[in-house]
Amino acid sequence: MNIFETVKAAVPVRQAAEHYGLKVNRNGMACCPFHNDRHPSLKLNEEYFFCFGCGATGDVIEFTAKLFDLGSLQAAQRLAVDFGISTEQGQAVATSRKPKHPHIRQFREDEMFCFRVLTDYLHLLEDWKVQYAPKTPEDDLDDRFVEACQMLERIEYLTDILTVGDLEERVAVVEELMKDSTVAFLQDYTARKREEDVRFERGNDAGHAL
């Protein structure tokens, strides 16, 4: 057997996925690392994986190659080393292996957090743009309407990158948002503004009731 056959026979895709940080549920489903996946849409079997979200599919070697951006041989070698499978090629690579994205799990968590916060804010802006739009040309512009007009495009752009951008672009966006707790601030801000809106609406309802 060559290294490919040896590794494929020895390591189920699911086991490799778990080893490399994916959380796999009882049905063998996990959040897909190959697209921005908020609900598990990646199916992991013994011999292959398939994503219902982005269509990614392959065997354990292809999975590892895609995850760490490696060639097939490097991926097979990495699996051999990580799962203690002895092949000559596997031994040879033991000292030189270095994951290209060593913090992929942390990155995915950060990315999902950023995505959630961005979409929350985006929805708030979309609401504001309608809710606080001037009714007549003479109306003063509401601050929230102005903010929506100014920010919508930028926030849409960022969420688009996190949805369809390549890894490098996504890393750049996530780094930018995590820096100086920008994203944490945005999360608080969105929650606070939402609450103000709700209070305002309740106030209006109370007014009508009287």
Q: Which is nearer to Zn ion, 54 or 171 (CB)?
A: 54
163/59 Cα distance (integer angstroms): 24
CB of 82 vs Zn ion, minimal distance in Å: 22
The correct pick among 4, 15, 21, 35 for binding Zn ion (CB under 5 A) is: 35
State the number of binding residues for Zn ion (CB under 5 A).
7
Q: Note whether 189 binds Zn ion by CB under 5 A.
A: no
49/31 Cα distance (integer angstroms): 12
Which letter, b or e, does each residue of 139-161 get, where b requires 16 or more Cβ atoms within 10 Å of its Cβ? eeeeebbebbeebbeebeebbeb
Q: Which is nearer to Zn ion, 4 or 34 (CB)?
A: 34
**Contact pattern for Zn ion over residues 48 through 87, marking x by CB under 5 A:** ---x-xx-x-------------------------------
117/65 Cα distance (integer angstroms): 30
Q: Note whether 17 binds Zn ion by CB under 5 A.
A: no
The set of residues, in sequence order, having a beta carbon less than 8 Å from that of 81 and lying 6+ positions away, is 90, 93, 94, 97
Q: Which is nearer to Zn ion, 30 or 125 (CB)?
A: 30
Q: Which is nearer to Zn ion, 40 or 90 (CB)?
A: 40
Cα distances (angstroms) measured from residue 170 to each of 34, 91, 112: 12, 34, 11
Q: Which parts of this chain interact with Zn ion (CB under 5 A)?
A: 32, 34-35, 51, 53-54, 56
